[in-house]
Each structure stands twice: as structure tokens, then as C-alpha cells.
Amino acid sequence: MNAKIKYRAALVGCSRMGAFIDNESSNPKLSPYSHAAGYIKCERTDLIACSDIRTDVMKIAGDTYNIQEKNQYTDYKKMILETKPDIVSVATQPEQRAEVVIFAANNGAKAIYAEKAMSASIEDCYEMYDACIKNNVSFNLGTNRRYDSGFNSMTNLIKEESLGKLKTLVAYCTGSLFNMGSHNFDLLLKLNSESKVTSVTANLGEFIWDSELKELKSDPIGQGVIEFENGVKAYAFNISNKTKWDAICENGVVSAIDNGGNFIVHTKNKKYELDVEKKSSTLSLIYDLVRSIDDSRPHLGGIKVAVASTEIIFGFIQSHITHSQVTFPYKPLGINLNRNFAPRMPKYNK
Ligand SMILES: NC(=O)c1ccc[n+]([C@@H]2O[C@H](COP(=O)([O-])OP(=O)(O)OC[C@H]3O[C@@H](n4cnc5c(N)ncnc54)[C@H](O)[C@@H]3O)[C@@H](O)[C@H]2O)c1
């Protein structure tokens, strides 16, 4: 690895997660949180270009992050072809994710940082996978807990088996499948050492669905059970509005509480907190991606784990539609998310 190489990054989607979400967060330890702020902070990256179809949002992002006006594009394809970035960030909504990722992978990007949820259909997800594998493109999905120092400690504790073997995982606030389920499913995979999913059984809340077009018109809240090849079961509930996770092992339980702010271990005889130094997960994700380019292989992330969590999202939907358990690998049913989602105005100042 040559630690001196600086990779040139370009951003597609200059709104909240792309550029301004740090202004919404009151916890300085989470910063840098947006993609743009992450590239600025990372010593191994330069942010050289940006693209958005909203020119006002793009201009303010460009001015905020010192991106030359000639490198601000309304057409992301032109930006990629003209500026030839090493890394392309895709912070659009999932409905606009696949086309950008596939174009970037086929046109010279070495790495892609794509926001969650990965795609609006499982078919798109597989096309993104093929494009990245064919072109040897490193890929990290913006499921931030995967790169979080606290969840790394929780995962390591489970792996070392000092609490005995992992039996059960519980997520108490799974949320809507694309927005929050994407984070939760990725985390359950991480906590269970990326064991393969064998089946899911799920039901969804309000389900706004065009059955002819097979289009989901909103992001449904979902809950269900995930079974893994190693015998572990994960329960993805919506029984609390507090974001909390339990990993129940043979001889103790490790819980992430306060949305991963604190980690508590319970055994028969003692209760203690994990000593965790909080760092920016976005910055860790970017360093992880840089390392993947350096040595041409995934580390904490990668396209395979991104596909695995996306398969759970669409497995949940298929289970709800077919009223049955879905055994993996399953035959895709051609379901698309298509919400006509209007982008929000980012918060430009704290
Ligand atoms: N990882 C996290 O913690 C986290 C937090 C917030 C949001 N997100 C995710 O980030 C993504 C973006 O969220 P947001 O709230 O910033 O969304 P948003 O809707 O506010 O912004 C999306 C931006 O993409 C732009 N865009 C759409 N099509 C485009 C195209 N073809 N070319 C260029 N720009 C285009 C839109 O104009 C808009 O400015 C979502 O998938 C969301 O789930 C992740």
C-alpha cells in the first residue's frame, strides 16, 4: 500500500447525507457525518467535483467545500467522464442509486460509496453487484453502524465467545425497511459474523402497493424473523421507539443502547459497560474504502455484504406479499420502490 496516494472523490447528490447533515447533529463525535465532510477530513481523499439536479443545493455545497464552479455538474455522467474521479459517492435516494452506481463502475471509478438503501429493486442490486465485480470496483454501503467503533467492539466480543456462543439477536426498532431496516439488517449480519441467511418470515405495516406495476409507493415498516446458516435467529421487531439491540449468547447478553451510544454486558454475576471511544463512522467508512482500493479487496464492508442486507429487505417484502416464509436464495418477484420522493431542503447552517 502506498499511503501517499490521495484519491479524488466526486459526489452525486449534494443534499443532507451528501453534504449538510452535520448541521442536524448535536453530537460532535459523529462528525464528519456527510460524505463531503468525510472526504474533506480524510487525509487520503480530495473532494474535487459534485453533481446535483438542484442547482441551488449544488452551488451551496460547492461553495461550502471549495469545489471549483467548473467541477459542479447537473449531469453526473458528464462529471464522471470529464473529472475521472477515483471514488464516486452516491447520496441520492435509492430510486436513483442503481443507474449512478452502474455508470460509475463502468466508467473508471475505482471505488463507490453508496448510501443505503442500496437499490429500489433486488434486480437493480444484482446489476450493481455485476458492474462492480466486472470492473473490480471497491464498494461500501452507507450502513454506518458497520464502521462504528462501538459496534466493532460488540462484534468482537461476540466473536471471541467469552460469553459463549451467540444464540439470538434482537433489534427493537427495525423501522421502515429501506430507510432504517437497511441499517438494522446490515448490523444483524455484522453481529452474526456475516453468516448466510437461510430464510425470512415477515409482515409489514401499512403497505401502499400498485400490484399491477409491482411498485411500492411508500417505504413500509416491517418486522420479522431471520434465520441464519449457523443456527442463530434474529428477531427484527418494532416494539420500542428506542433504537436498541441485544445479542443473546449462551452465558450472557451484550446490548447496544441509546442508538449505539452505550454498550452493556450482562452475565450471571456481573454487569459492565464496554469501554468505547466514539469516532465518526463516515470517516471510518471512507478510510475502509481507501484501504480497499489500496489492496484491491474489501475489509469491513464490500459489495457482498451490501447485497446480503438488501436481499433481506426484499425477502421481507416477498414474505409479506406471499404470506409465507421465504427461503434463500429466492426467486425475485420484480418488486420496485417508486415513491415519487421529493428531496428535502438541507439545513445549511447549525
Ligand atoms: N447513513 C446515514 O446515516 C444516512 C442519514 C441520512 C440519509 N441517508 C441516506 O442518504 C440518501 C440521501 O438522503 P438525503 O436525506 O440527503 O436525501 P435528499 O432527498 O434530501 O437528497 C437527495 C439529493 O439527490 C439529488 N439527486 C437526485 N437525482 C439525482 C441525479 N440524477 N443526479 C444528481 N443528483 C440527484 C436530489 O436533487 C437531492 O438533492 C438516502 O438514501 C438516505 O436514506 C443516510
For the cut 80, the answer to whether the pLDDT of residue 264 exceeds it is yes
Query: Which residue segment(s) compose the domain that 331 sits in?
Result: 149-275+309-337
Q: Which atom of ligand 1 is nearest to the CA of 93?
A: 41
CATH (domain of 295): 3.40.50.720
Indicate if 78 and 212 belong to the same structural domain: no
Residue 328 CA to ligand 1 center (angstroms) comes to 30
For the cut 90, the answer to whether the pLDDT of residue 2 exceeds it is no
Residue 152 CA to ligand 1 center (angstroms) comes to 26
Indicate if 193 and 168 belong to the same structural domain: yes
- 349 lies in some domain: no
Indicate if 72 and 111 belong to the same structural domain: yes
Q: What is the pLDDT of residue 27?
A: 86
Q: In whole angstroms, give the CA distance from residue 245 to residue 202.
A: 18
For the cut 60, the answer to whether the pLDDT of residue 1 exceeds it is no
How many domains does the structure of the chain reveal?
A: 2
- 2 lies in some domain: no
For the cut 90, the answer to whether the pLDDT of residue 148 exceeds it is yes
- 103 lies in some domain: yes
Indicate if 196 and 56 belong to the same structural domain: no
- 246 lies in some domain: yes
Pairing of the two strands 215-216 and 87-90: unpaired
Indicate if 37 and 168 belong to the same structural domain: no
Q: How does residue 4 score in pLDDT terms, banded at 50, 70 and 90?
A: confident
Q: What is the pLDDT of residue 198?
A: 98
- 345 lies in some domain: no
Indicate if 271 and 294 belong to the same structural domain: no
State the residue for C-alpha cell 405495516.
205
Indicate if 177 and 224 belong to the same structural domain: yes
Q: What mean pLDDT do residues 24-51 have?
A: 95
Ligand 1 pocket test target in 53, 93, 186, 345 with most atoms within 8 Å of CB: 93
Indicate if 259 and 286 belong to the same structural domain: no
Q: Which atom of ligand 1 is nearest to the CA of 96?
A: 28
Indicate if 182 and 214 belong to the same structural domain: yes
Q: What average pLDDT does the chain have?
A: 97
Q: What mean pLDDT do residues 190-207 have?
A: 97
Nearest residue (by CA) to ligand 1, atom 3, is 144
CATH (domain of 167): 3.30.360.10
Q: What is the 3-state secondary structure (H, E, C) of 140-181?
A: EECCHHHHCHHHHHHHHHHHHCCCCCEEEEEECECCEHHHHH
3-state secondary structure of 240: coil
Q: How does residue 29 score in pLDDT terms, banded at 50, 70 and 90?
A: confident
Residue 21 CA to ligand 1 center (angstroms) comes to 11
- 268 lies in some domain: yes
Ligand 1 pocket test target in 56, 73, 74, 92 with most atoms within 8 Å of CB: 92
Q: What mean pLDDT do residues 139-152 have?
A: 98
**Of all residues in the chain, what percent carry a pLDDT higher than 70?**
99
Indicate if 121 and 12 belong to the same structural domain: yes
Indicate if 177 and 95 belong to the same structural domain: no
Q: What mean pLDDT do residues 28-42 have?
A: 96
61 or 2, higher pLDDT: 61
Q: What is the pLDDT of residue 3?
A: 63
- 342 lies in some domain: no
Q: What is the pLDDT of residue 6?
A: 97
The values of phi and psi at residue 91, to 5°, are -110, 40
Nearest residue (by CA) to ligand 1, atom 5, is 17
Q: What mean pLDDT do residues 232-257 have?
A: 96
- 168 torsion bin: left (phi>0), alpha (psi -120 to 50), beta (else): beta
Indicate if 153 and 117 belong to the same structural domain: no
Q: Which atom of ligand 1 is nearest to the CA of 76?
A: 32
Q: How far is CA 66 from CA 46, 71, 272, in A?
A: 11, 10, 46
- 350 lies in some domain: no
Q: What mean pLDDT do residues 114-124 have?
A: 98
Nearest residue (by CA) to ligand 1, atom 7, is 17
44-101 tens-digit pLDDT: 999 999 999 999 999 999 999 999 999 999 999 999 999 999 999 999 999 999 999 9
| Residue type for position 133 | I
